[in-house]
Structure 1
Amino acid sequence: MTSTTHRSAAEIGRTERGPRAVPVLGAQRAAADLSHVDTVLGNGLRVLAVRKANVPMVELRLRVPFGGTEPLHSATAEVLAETILTGTARRDRVEIDTELALIGGELRASVDPERLAFTGKALASGLPTLLDVLADALTSASYVDDEVSREAARLIERLAVSRTQPRVIAREALLKHSYGDHPVTREVPQPQDVRQVTPESVRALHHAAVLPRGSVLVLVGDIDPDQVVGDVENALRGWASERAAAALLELPELSGGEMLLVPRAGAVQSQIRLVAAALPRTDARYPALQLANLAYGGYFSSRLVENIREDKGYTYSAHSGFEFTGSTATVGVDADTANEVTAAAVLETRYELGRLALVPPDADEIESVRQYAVGSLVIATSSQAGLAGQLSALTASGLGVEWLAAHPNRLAAVTAEEVAQAALDFFAPARFTGVVVGDAESLAPKLAAIGEFTVGEAGPK
């Protein structure tokens, strides 16, 4: 007779001899084994083409630096991203969609304060068509008046909803608290700014800013890298300029200090966001810092999660991780909590920062996060899309396949002393600043008791 008794995860994870050991990672093929070409074309476009032939597809990522300081740059850039693929001199919207569908493909555009990005994929046999559609959009996007007006109206509707979301409010509040009026704070444009965008201003921005010099195209898939570089050069021969794409202004230096309480009247939950300066991937100390971050809050078994989620139940999700912008890097901490435990969660979050700095991870903890770091990297790059995304992010720092291939060895070489030093240097509570978004009436007295909190202007309800 079959038993219907189910064992819990905790029971499965233990044996009569104690906790079930985590299997050792097996040998993995290095990314360097992948055939690739990394070169710069005559028009200044960097092309990174990688052969990964596990499926007969190809992934495309184009990253165009897209910094701007004009007050309406963010709004105009958003409308541009929404309409750049709605028609060209040779194709209307229906023709673009039809041609992409016939090659099993898709092509999308998005924008943020740092870059305009194109994300696409297609059957490998359809890559010439995908490149042709991309080239058409880059060189002759038409921005028909009706299309611009229609997409701008849709964008305004989405923004009106988006700007009421707690996580969006918290993100904007953190950026403004950290960087003042720097363009990086304008990730989500104001609806009233979008209303001022005209088809003429979108066309002008395209002409001035959608440029190949300084941009990076990543192609990953069932391709011949050497041949593909020639195909790209031929397809994009009309995309040229002596000017370079505009990089985002360098971020101001981030320093720790006073926290900001952003009032959101009537909110029943609060958003906790902390941030501190970190190290770019190009720094020799980055692998040690990466392991220190994982130990703190970078994965489910981290100290922060064990404390405020598993032990105390203050939050469903807590996390820490890196953000890379230009040549700068930050480490951020985020958690959403109920009002009645917000102050306690902030206190415990800071406590774990101090404990990491003063009581660094031991050998077993380091080995656990090391295996997680290597394993998650292998998983993230196992698919064509994952590898393309990883490489596109790395190219923003001038890195490529070689860095990705060597990173597991860098992680393996990190010592306990290096992790301890990274924790002390970068996770001390005094280095962090941040915001709490929530109901000020209920939160202010408790947060004031913790200290270093001021109350800011009210955010959206």
Structure 2
Amino acid sequence: MTAVTHRTAEQIGHTERGPRPLPELGAQAEAAQPSIVDTMIDNGLHVIVVRRPAVPMVELRLRIPFAGTDPMHSARAEVLANALLTGTKRRNRTQVDTDLAAVGGDLAAVVDPERLSVGGSALADGLPVLLDVLADALTEAAYREEEVGREKERLTERIQLARSQPSVIAREALQRYRYGDHPFAKEMPEAEEVARVEPADARALHQAAVLPKGSLLVLVGDIDPDSTVDAVRAALAGWGSAASASVLPVLPTVTGGDALLVHRPGAVQSQIRLSAQAIPRTDPRYPALQIANLVYGGYFSSRLVENIREDKGYTYSAHSYFEFTPSGATLMVDADTASSVTPAALWEARYELGRLGLVPPTEAEVNAARSYAIGSLLTSTASQSGLAGTVAALATVGLTFDWLREHPLRLAAVTGEQIAAAALEFLAPVNFTGVVVGDAEQLAPQLRAIGGVVLP
């Protein structure tokens, strides 16, 4: 028997003449235009239907603006979202689940300070049932006392568990520090607020705020767009109101400044959360900033990851990304570190921000980030589910499928000079603020020494 010789990855990647050359990048082609209908139906609902016949399924995404300024709005909205699909006047909870299961379907609702979202899927030939269950919930949700009580108990448990998590503590601290008392800052109600919500409160909020005008419905799958719009129009004919869904007031601009140290007694790990104002996808500078962010910390081969993870071992994961908001976008930098190296990690994160503006990305860095950006966009929209989510996210800020189809070409056309300019303008350390959550007794002396941090 001939012995099998195993080659290492380095050996596989080399020839006798040296490393195997990477193949040249091909010319970026414009994405194909699918069959799509984008229209407004009689009740004011914006409907987008995209034919994607990959599998005999259909994906549904409903987005209803759901802002509120009442101090109890967050609690009522959470109870409403959790109980919306637990029964209607003609279906109890079991019947809702049974009808959906019969067509291989599911529906779920979640809420945030900006919108109420309902999402799900079904077999393509089960679309009439999926739409009927959705319409029933939108027009006849019952909010029965026993169901609301059960959901309140589950919600209270989840809130109490979430509030013990360092990542949630850091997120809430950052939201308060960035946006003060703006409704967008309150992403989770207090458990005692949830306990005060009654079924009548959920019914009243549903009547006042679950409205089609200003809302968006996206359907993607092995379906005919024209006949699907007709089916939507018929199924949702009874859902209507003269009022429009409630949108959030404009967010205040995030301004740079000192980070805030939030004391978490006894913590052995810290959470670094930095944020700066960015630009929306509609801005012509966005493609350049998107690639600049990737070079900084947006993927595993970024400068930030190489510095504080691979080189210095300060963190297992560090990441920078866009957070798209109702009125624009912000840039975020996240890193969780051991308390002993938190000040050093913060210093290096700021250093890499400054270095990106002063030492522009090399051609190799730009090409790698560009390939990642284009590839991840195409990958994220390759499935029916991914395409439905992406189309919904774009449409809520006024962007059509054309933007999605053309964006790979914009990324391919971005120059190194444009990327360097975007980094200098938007990724400068002075643009950022944020929070550091950790044990102040351990962190304060070193943070005081490096500066730029408000101590408790």
**Structure 2 length normalisation: TM-score?**
0.97
Question: In the TM superposition, what is the alpha-carbon distance from 1:362 to its structure 2 partner?
Answer: 1.9
The runs of 5 or more residues in structure 2 that have no matched partner are none
In structure 2, the residue matched to 1:388 is 388
| Number of the residue aligned with 2:263 | 263
Partners of 1:88 and 1:140 within 8 A in 2: yes
CA deviation vs aligned residue, 1:292-328 (integer Å, no higher than 9, x gap): 0011001110010011111111111000000111122
SS of the aligned residue for 1:315 comes to: coil
Aligned residues: 455
- Alpha-carbon distance, 1:33 to partner: 2.0
C-alpha contact 1:32 1:401 (8 A) present in aligned 2 = no
Rate the CA distance shift 1:89–1:27 in 2: closer, same or farther, 3 A. farther
Measure the CA separation in 2 of the matches of 1:86 and 1:330. 36
Q: Compute the displacement of 1:24 (Å).
A: 4.7
The one-letter code sitting in structure 1 at the alignment partner of 2:8 is R
Aligned to 2:390, the other structure's residue is in SS state helix
> Is the contact between residue 29 and residue 409 of structure 2 (CA under 8 Å) also seen in structure 1?
no
Q: Could you list the runs of 5+ residues in structure 1 that have no partner in the other structure?
A: 457-461
Cα deviation, 1:35-80, whole Å, max 9, x if unaligned, reads: 1011111111111100000100000000001111110111111111
Deviation, structure 1 residue 396: 1.6
Other-structure match for 1:162: 162
Task: Check conservation: 2:28, 2:408, Cα contact below 8 A.
Answer: no
Measured in 1, the distance between the counterparts of 2:117 and 2:96 equals 18
> Which residue in 1 is equivalent to 2:68?
68
Partner secondary structure for residue 261 of structure 2: strand
* 1:94 match: 94
Q: Determine the structure 2 residue equivalent to 1:7.
A: 8
Where in structure 2 are the equivalents of 1:117-266 lying within 5 Å? Answer: 117-266=117-266
Q: Would you say 1:282 and 2:282 are equivalent positions?
A: yes
Amino acid across the alignment from 2:228: V
CA distance in 1, matches of 2:24, 2:34: 24
Judged with a 3 Å threshold, the aligned counterparts in structure 2 of structure 1 residues 361 and 102 are, in CA distance, closer, same or farther, namely same
Note the C-alpha offset of 1:452.
1.8
Q: Which residue does 1:52 correspond to in 2?
A: 52
Compared CA separation, residues 418 and 187, structure 1 to 2 (3 A): same
Across the aligned residues of Structure 1 and Structure 2, the Cα RMSD in angstroms comes to 1.5
In structure 2, distance between residues paired with 1:414 and 1:370: 9
Aligned to 2:316, the other structure's residue is in SS state: strand
Aligned to 2:405: 405
The C-alpha deviation readout for 1:181-227, integer Å capped at 9, x for no partner, is: 11111111110111111111111111111001111111000010111
Q: Give yes or no for contact 1:63–1:215 (8 Å, CA) kept in 2.
A: yes
Change (3 A) 1:29 1:87: farther
Structure 2 counterpart of 1:433: 433
1:147–1:26 CA distance, 2 compared to 1 (3 A): farther
Shift of 1:400: 2.2
Assess if the C-alpha contact under 8 Å between 1:282 and 1:397 holds in 2: no
- The one-letter code of the counterpart of 2:48 is L
How far is 1:455 from its partner? 2.7
Output the amino acid matched with 1:112: D
How far, CA to CA, are the matches of 1:49 and 1:27 in structure 2?
A: 30
- Which AA in structure 2 matches 1:384? Q
Q: 2:258–2:452: 8 Å Cα contact kept in structure 1?
A: yes
Q: In the alignment, is the contact (CA less than 8 A) between 2:139 and 2:238 conserved in 1?
A: yes
Match of 2:453 in 1: 453
**Counterpart residue identity of residue 234, structure 1:** A
TM-score of the pair, normalised by structure 1: 0.96
8 A Cα contact 2:30 2:409, kept in partner: no
Cα distance in 1 for residues equivalent to 2:58 and 2:30: 20
Tell me, in whole angstroms, the C-alpha distance in 2 between the residues paired with 1:204 and 1:255. 38
**Is the 2:63–2:115 contact (alpha carbons within 8 Å) kept by the matching residues of 1?**
yes
Q: Secondary structure at the match of 1:82?
A: helix
**Cα offsets for 1:127-183 (capped at 9, x unmatched):** 010001000000110000111111101110111001110111111111111111111
CA distance in 2, matches of 1:212, 1:190: 29
Q: Note the C-alpha offset of 1:32.
A: 4.3
Write the letter of the residue equivalent to 2:103.
Answer: I
Q: Distance in 2 between matches of 1:17 and 1:418?
A: 37
Matches within 5 A, 1:338-353: 338-353=338-353
CA contact (8 A) 1:25 1:375 kept: no
User: C-alpha distance in 1, partners of 2:172/2:54?
Assistant: 40
Distance in 2, matches of 1:17 and 1:421, equals: 39
How far apart, in 2, do the equivalents of 1:54 and 1:433 lie?
Answer: 44
Instruction: Give the distance between the partners of 1:329 and 1:63, measured in 2 at CA.
Output: 19
Runs of 4+ in 1 over 3 A off after TM superposition: 1-6, 10-32
Q: What is the match of residue 362 of structure 2?
A: 362
Change over 3 Å in CA distance of 1:179–1:383 after alignment to 2: same
Q: Percent identity?
A: 63
Q: Deviations over 1:406-442 (max 9, x none)?
A: 0001111111111011000000000000101011111
Shift, 1:7, TM fit: 2.6
Question: Contact (CA 8 Å) 2:218, 2:391: kept in 1 or not?
Answer: yes
Offset at residue 25 of structure 1 (A):
5.3
Q: Distance in 1 between matches of 2:70 and 2:3?
A: 70
What residue identity is the alignment partner of 2:87?
G
Distance apart, 1:384 and its partner CA:
0.3
Q: Is the 8 A contact 2:65 2:116 kept in 1?
A: yes
Further displaced range: 159-168 or 29-38? 29-38
Instruction: From the superposition, tell whether residues 22 and 203 of structure 1 become closer, same or farther in structure 2 (CA, over 3 Å).
Output: farther
- Does the C-alpha gap of structure 1 residues 198 and 23 become closer, same or farther in structure 2, counting only changes over 3 Å? farther
* Pairing 1:303–2:313 present: no
1:42 and 2:42 aligned? yes
- Could you tell me whether the CA contact under 8 Å between 1:31 and 1:401 is conserved in 2? no
CA distance in 1, matches of 2:12, 2:436: 39
Contact 1:36 1:48 in 2 (8 A): yes
| Aligned counterparts of 1:426 and 1:266: Cα–Cα separation in 2 | 35
SS in 2 for 1:58: strand
Give the letter for the 2:139 counterpart: T
CA–CA separation in structure 2 for the residues paired with 1:187 and 1:348: 30
2:444 paired residue number: 444
Q: Does 1:420 align with 2:400?
A: no
